[in-house]
Amino acid sequence: MPDVQSMVAEFVNKLRKRKIEGSQATAKCTVELLRSVISHQRVPHANQAAALIDAVKAVGQQLVAANPVELAVGNVVRRVLHIIREEDLSLTTAAMAGLDLLDASDDDDIDNCKGIGYPAMSAAVVAAAARSTLRPPSLQTLLEGTPESATVPYTSSSGADSESKSKSADKSSLTRKLKHDVIEGVNQLIHEISGCHEQIAEQAIEHIHQNEVILTLGSSRTVLEFLCAAKEKKRSFRVFVAEGAPRYQGHLLAKELVARGLQTTVITDSAVFAMISRVNMVIIGAHAVMANGGVIGPVGVNMAALAAKKHAVPFVVLAGSHKLCPLYPHNPEVLLNELRSPSELLDFGEFSDCLDFGAGSGSLQVVNPTFDYVPPNLVSLFITDTGGHNPSYMYRLIADYYSADDLVM
């Protein structure tokens, strides 16, 4: 336990001081940390899922508080919570059904349990009821009309199972199994996060065509991999890189692209509108994708999106699934921006005489926001590791990845 504590403290410390940058790195660190939290967490016999959820939530809250701007942390924590809930559900279902049918672990198939005995029937109902709590109400679940009372046997069954000895033996294995399954699930998530670049890049060939001109802004590893993947498939195209003031990460991206043999042109951010008529597609990487399909990206992105809209140029956003955020941008609790040091904009020494409040006269103020927001109507397409999606489809993806219970942590 203590070493987990210190690991959490260290990571919190890093997040606080903004030592980790980039949502993929943050997401990966977060999942790995949560995995060790889960593996070190002792689970009681009863209600083990709740114990795990509590442990993960406690750590998650610390992490989110440490850097509320990095939404990927919260996303990943919610994903892990969702995994725990799903695994717990499938195990309960299996345990109930397992008396008669040993192979009922496939939680997607409710029909499996049909026409068995009374206990199996109740398990199916439990599963359906529980799922309805996991998933937001969809038309299907509403029409199914699962009775509300069905939740009662769920709680009572998990509490009053101790009557038979075989069951208690089963339970201890179940304890191990839940943890094991959850860790398995988390490992899968880690795999997914670390592989998201390749997953997205695989689709590049479908989107980038011969002799096209692509515009991008700032620097994103996803975009880099995406463009390079198209290049590897012998597509020849040009890339315009808007430099992404004030951090000028576009310069770094341009350097990388040239090193990989792409035809690259660097333009200033203010030249985006001037160049947009020659551009066939705008591709940017996102910092986060909100539940309404809006995008949070590097500062200047909104301007590029507006220019693209004006010239009917497709505006494509690349985002790994860890960037999907189940929150809405109008939620005041969501901190969407961070003001960084003005020294990125101008030299302190050169302007030190205008910054003086002591002189009594007006003084210079410098604001340096990091992020920009692009409303969903300006986005043409999202490319995630699961394929291309419309902005209006984002809420559905989010419903697949997150439980409604975890939206507020």
Tell me the closest approach of the beta carbon of residue 31 to another protein, in angstroms.
21
Tell me the closest approach of the beta carbon of residue 151 to another protein, in angstroms.
35
| Residue 208 buriedness (CB in 10 A; 0-12 / 13-18 / 19+) | buried
Q: Residue 91 contacts by C-beta under 8 Å, 6 or more apart in sequence? A: 105, 174, 177, 178, 181
8 Å CB contact between 200 and 226? yes
Dist. CA 257–CA 251, nearest whole Å = 10
In terms of CB distance, is 169 or 359 closer to another protein?
Answer: 359
Tell me the closest approach of the beta carbon of residue 199 to another protein, in angstroms.
33
In terms of CB distance, is 157 or 249 closer to another protein?
Answer: 249
In terms of CB distance, is 115 or 349 closer to another protein?
Answer: 349
In terms of CB distance, is 145 or 349 closer to another protein?
Answer: 349
Could you list the residues that contact another protein (CB under 8 A)?
6, 9-10, 13, 16-19, 65-66, 339-344, 347-350, 352-353, 355-360, 365-368
Hey, what are 191's tokens? Answer: 């795999």
Tell me the closest approach of the beta carbon of residue 242 to another protein, in angstroms.
22
Dist. CA 408–CA 381, nearest whole Å = 28
In terms of CB distance, is 6 or 270 closer to another protein?
Answer: 6
- The DSSP 8-state label assigned to residue 176 in this structure reads H
Tell me the closest approach of the beta carbon of residue 8 to another protein, in angstroms.
11
Dist. CA 13–CA 10, nearest whole Å = 5
Residue count of the chain: 409
Tell me the closest approach of the beta carbon of residue 302 to another protein, in angstroms.
18
Dist. CA 398–CA 409, nearest whole Å = 16
In terms of CB distance, is 331 or 343 closer to another protein?
Answer: 343
Dist. CA 317–CA 287, nearest whole Å = 10
8 Å CB contact between 125 and 146? yes
Hey, what are 289's tokens? Answer: 């994708």
